[in-house]
Amino acid sequence: MDKQLIFMVAALLSLFAMAPMASAHHAHATVWSADHQGITLYGSDAVIHGDDGTEARITPDGTLTIAGKPVAVNSAQQQQLAQYVATVRDIEIKGTQLGAAAGSFAAGVAAEAIAALFAGASEDDIDRKAKTRANEFKKKALPICRDVLTLKLLQDSLQTGLPAFKPYAVIEANDAGDCEHDINSDD
């Protein structure tokens, strides 16, 4: 088995072993980030860093503040904002669970690879089996992709009906599609 793969597995094991410790000490988690924009959970609130450099904060009950000032919303918008926060929270929870499972997965693949190596399996066979297992594991991220799509749809609806929300539409049209495409690819 090639030394790069062994190093990569060892590095992943180290990162995933530290992930639960890191999340236990911080009160926030970045759920989405691209080009100085992003969505971060601070406690139970979703904070969106917009393209204009300001922040929008959405509470679980659907209250919206932009740059620290309350924004008036109607009942339907408030429900959408509450669903937005709930979806961001779902992404964070699923991502944390997947990260924890990835540590066990990587350890299992490494153990199988080492056992196969000692049993005389070829590097090609070991690599092929590891890639097959990795592709199976990637499929576990599909629910997160679906949540990203839900978040994108909520974002689009909010920016259409609530112009003040437009700078906080940080999820691009191709993000959800790219997510599923990347998971379903064999790379």
Convert the pLDDT of each residue in 69-102 to its tens digit. 999 999 999 999 999 999 999 988 888 888 887 7
Q: In a 3-state reduction of DSSP, which class is residue 120?
A: coil
Strands in 55-58's sheet, in edge-to-edge order, are 28-34, 37-42, 45-49, 55-58, 64-66, 69-71
- Please report the pLDDT score of residue 26 as a whole number: 41
pLDDT digits (tens, 9 = 90+) for 115-144: 877 788 788 887 888 787 777 777 888 888
Q: What predicted TM-score, i.e. pTM, was given to this entire model?
A: 0.72
| Every domain of the chain and the residues it spans | 3-184
